[in-house]
Amino acid sequence: MRVLLTAAATAALVVSGPLTATAAGQGPQGPVGGDLLTTKPTAVAEGATPPAVRASAYVVADIDTGEVLAAKAPHARLRPASTLKALTALVLLPRLKKTDVVVGTDDDAGIEGSKVGVYPGLKYSVDLLFEGMFLGSGNDAVHALCVHDQGGVKGTIQRMNRKAEELGAHDTTVTDPTGLDADGQYSSAYDLALIARAGLARPDFAKYAATKYTAFPNAGNKGTYQVANQNKLLFDYDGALGVKTGYTTLARNTFIGAARRNGHTLVVTLMNAPHGITKDASDLLSWSFTNYDKLNPVGTLVKPAAPSPKAAAGPTGRRAEAGTTQPPRSRAVVNPGQAVQSLALRVPAWAYAAPPVLLLGLFLRRPRALRRRRH
């Protein structure tokens, strides 16, 4: 009986233990993008030694080929700050008409964090709000755009999380589309590279990311003021394509930058850097361009999954259909081992402990029954 109990308890632990969770950035065969792309804080490169940078995590990759040229803790889940706005834009750009007019609200103007200057009662084109979002990192512009779309902020968050899954950005969880330090909101240097690659494939995203200056209306429509792009790479680095910067107290400096030289388009992402992030990005890009022919890929940027028909719908604004609030059902074929694992995950953990407990009860009651017969 003891042997039977031990075997049952061991089986319960084996089934329920290892299958209850998987690490972020981990696929069935290992880290997403390759075995060398882990959360370890050691720089990984083959063919040349990358420059030392102060960021806790980074990725340098070729957008065209998908090859990761160097990385450091690429799957470490860190706070993204305003670099998350790249994903926000990726979701909103195909849904909103650039010529639509949005009227600023008190909620827009009163939002926390960085603002570009959206005033209650003033009218803004969607196009201008996107410029305010990219250049000035305006949380007020993000809020106005999200509210203009069907489902508002909540709907945007749902779509952003679905988009992250579609891109293979499994380290990313969105709870605030502005990128503020919200509970449970994380991304990774690897995921930011995936998002940047998808964004730069869109001409409108690429245009906003590379715009250096725009003009925003003053309160009361009394003239305009100039807004400059916060990504200094655009002003200081030859071939720069921009993208997005970020900063919060908890995230510290975060960065997405891209540049094109000698027929190659490279993206660099950095997270959790104390200072000097533009120089670090420039150093990594220059090192990559200089040593490009010597470098062997240390991983790959995974290809995105095909979007659902509703997710791929065109510009909509408030007239849009609400879209799905649940991800589409997967019809992937699984092998028998995966099927067993999937079934095991659906069974509550207490069910595995039930057989041993029942057997134990029978074992403990049996001696008392025998004693009654002897009397």
Residue 82 known to be catalytic = yes
Burial category of 312 from C-beta neighbours within 10 Å (exposed 0-12, middle 13-18, buried 19 and up) = exposed
Report CA 181 to chain centroid distance, whole Å.
14
What residues contact 164, with CB distance under 8 A and at least 6 apart? 87, 170, 172, 173, 174, 191, 195
Establish whether 244 is an annotated binding residue: yes
**3 state SS for the chain:** CHHHHHHHHHHHHHHHCCCCCCCCCEECCEECCCCCCCCCCCEEEECCCCCCCCCCEEEEEECCCCEEEEEECCCCCECCHHHHHHHHHHHHCCCCCCCCEEECCHHHHCCCCCCCCCCCCCEEEHHHHHHHHHHCCCHHHHHHHHHHCCCHHHHHHHHHHHHHHHHCCCCCECCCCCCCCCCCCEECHHHHHHHHHHHHCCHHHHHHHHCCEEEEECHHHCCEEEEECCCCHHHHCCCEEEEEEEEECCCEEEEEEEEEECCEEEEEEEEEECCCHHHHHHHHHHHHHHCCCCCECCEECCCCCCCCCCCCCCCCHHHCCCCCCCCCCCCCCCCHHHHHHHHHHHCCHHHHHHHHHHHHHHHHHHHHHHHHHHC
How far is it, in rounded angstroms, from Cα 310 to Cα 332?
A: 20
Cross-strand partners of 71 = 44, 59
Q: Which is the catalytic residue, given 16, 72, 85, 232?
A: 85
Q: Catalytic residue among 16, 114, 115, 137, which?
A: 137
Query: Is residue 137 flagged as an active site residue?
Result: yes
In the set 16, 72, 82, 187, the catalytic residue is: 82
Residue 263 burial (CB count, 10 A): 7
Q: Tell me whether residue 85 is one of the annotated catalytic residues.
A: yes
Enumerate the active-site residues.
Answer: 82, 85, 137
- Binding annotation: 244
- Binding annotation for substrate: 244
